[in-house]
């Protein structure tokens, strides 16, 4: 008798013994595991092949520039890190290997960092001030007319699709070098993104308070001012602080196209291949963003905490 004759088929499982059920389950499980492993292996092979092809096509390993990818990376890293000498660390600016030699223009950099912060703060505040009224028009539950909602939403989407750096590049051509093009570019980006975030916060607000004010005779603005804004203010402040953090980084980058701030020096350091200077500026910028992150996080927590405690 064939071994298949003794084994019940899938259609007559009711007659299976417990051992048969377990045996069948184990067999089925092993089969599925084998199939899963095979598919995974196939995926790894395909992805590896694609990576290999991409590296080859991009000339990563076979570039004519220098001595191969690993060598170039090592060369870049050696030029990126400052060659500080422990015994000369606190010597004057003229001594190679000292901290002051590495940070040779620290005063200017700090001044430019301050300008970066100013650009970020001004752009965030102006952007938030612009976004607030627009968010009322872009909220489904508050807009006076559907076409206004549609227009504001689509316009803010359009502005959001333009990278800040491209807008700044255009504005530098129009206004000249300096922080003003940076402020305008970031203000536009901030207003567009905050309009969307504020509008969504407005849409999630409890309408009962607005209806109560409407029934008491309050006009549209009074309903918003006393019924809506107190509800959504912690959210709006939180989104604005988040945007401020983003704008600090953004303002640093905008200097690369001449829109003021630390980016001007970053751009100069890259152009003149002063990679250790570039690293110093990068550290200062990252440090600044850390400080901003921590501060705004504390303010945000306080705002939300205060709201919960109230």
Residues lying near other proteins in the complex (CB under 8 A): 115, 118-119, 121-122, 125-126, 129, 179, 183, 206, 208-209, 212-213, 215-218, 222, 225-227, 230-231, 233, 306, 310
Smaller CB separation from other proteins, 237 or 281: 237
Smaller CB separation from other proteins, 84 or 125: 125
Smaller CB separation from other proteins, 227 or 258: 227
Nearest to 245 by CA among 282, 288, 196: 288
Nearest to 271 by CA among 263, 283, 260, 261: 263
What region, left, alpha or beta, does residue 91 occupy, with left being phi > 0 and alpha being psi -120 to 50 degrees?
beta
**What length does the chain have?**
310
Smaller CB separation from other proteins, 2 or 215: 215
Smaller CB separation from other proteins, 106 or 121: 121
Q: How far is the CB of 263 from other proteins (least distance, A)?
A: 16
- The residues, ordered by sequence, that sit 6+ positions from 25 with a Cβ below 8 Å of its Cβ are none
Smaller CB separation from other proteins, 20 or 214: 214
Q: How far is the CB of 231 from other proteins (least distance, A)?
A: 7
Smaller CB separation from other proteins, 179 or 263: 179
Q: How far is the CB of 266 from other proteins (least distance, A)?
A: 20
Q: How far is the CB of 123 from other proteins (least distance, A)?
A: 9
- For 248, half-sphere exposure in the C-beta direction (CA atoms, 13 angstrom radius) is 21
**Contact between residue 193 and residue 126 where contact means Cβ atoms under 8 Å apart:** no
Q: Sign of the CA dihedral 294, 295, 301, 302?
A: positive
Q: How far is CA 285 from the centre of its chain?
A: 16
Q: How far is the CB of 165 from other proteins (least distance, A)?
A: 20
Nearest to 257 by CA among 151, 176, 141: 176
In angstroms, the CA 118 to CA 125 distance is: 11
Q: How far is the CB of 121 from other proteins (least distance, A)?
A: 6
Tokens standing for residue 299: 């303010």
DSSP letters for 87-134: GGTTS-TTSTTSHHHHTTTHHHHHHHHHHHHHHHHHHHHHHHHHHHHH
Q: How far is the CB of 225 from other proteins (least distance, A)?
A: 8
Q: How far is the CB of 152 from other proteins (least distance, A)?
A: 22
**Contact between residue 194 and residue 128 where contact means Cβ atoms under 8 Å apart:** yes
Smaller CB separation from other proteins, 193 or 231: 231
In angstroms, the CA 206 to CA 132 distance is: 18
């Amino acid at each position: 008798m064939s071994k298949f004759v003794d084994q019940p088929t899938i259609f007559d499982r009711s007659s299976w013994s417990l051992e048969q059920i377990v045996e069948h389950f184990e067999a089925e499980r092993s089969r599925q595991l084998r199939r899963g492993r095979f598919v995974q292996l196939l995926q790894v092979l395909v992805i590896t092949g694609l990576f290999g092809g991409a590296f080859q096509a991009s000339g990563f390993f076979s570039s004519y520039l220098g001595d191969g990818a690993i060598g170039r990376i090592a060369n870049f890293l050696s030029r990126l890190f400052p060659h500080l000498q422990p015994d000369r660390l606190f010597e004057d600016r003229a001594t190679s290997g000292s901290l002051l030699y590495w940070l040779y223009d620290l005063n200017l950099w700090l001044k430019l960092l301050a300008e970066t912060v100013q650009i970020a703060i001004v752009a965030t505040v102006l952007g938030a001030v612009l976004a607030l009224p627009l968010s009322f028009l872009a909220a489904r539950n508050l807009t006076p007319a559907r076409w206004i909602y549609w227009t504001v939403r689509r316009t803010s989407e359009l502005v959001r699709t333009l990278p800040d750096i491209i807008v700044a590049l255009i504005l530098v051509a129009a206004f000249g070098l300096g922080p003003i093009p940076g402020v305008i570019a970031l203000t536009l980006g901030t207003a567009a993104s905050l309009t969307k975030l504020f509008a969504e916060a407005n849409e999630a607000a409890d309408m009962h308070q607005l209806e109560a004010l409407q029934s008491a005779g309050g006009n549209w603005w009074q309903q918003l001012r006393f019924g809506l804004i107190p509800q959504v203010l912690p959210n709006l402040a939180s989104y604005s602080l988040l945007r401020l953090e983003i704008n600090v980084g953004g303002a640093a980058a905008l200097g690369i196209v001449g829109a003021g701030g630390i980016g001007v020096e970053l751009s100069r350091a890259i152009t003149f291949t002063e990679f250790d200077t570039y690293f110093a500026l990068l550290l200062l910028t990252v440090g600044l963003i850390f400080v901003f992150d921590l501060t705004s996080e504390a303010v945000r927590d306080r705002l939300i905490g205060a709201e919960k405690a109230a």
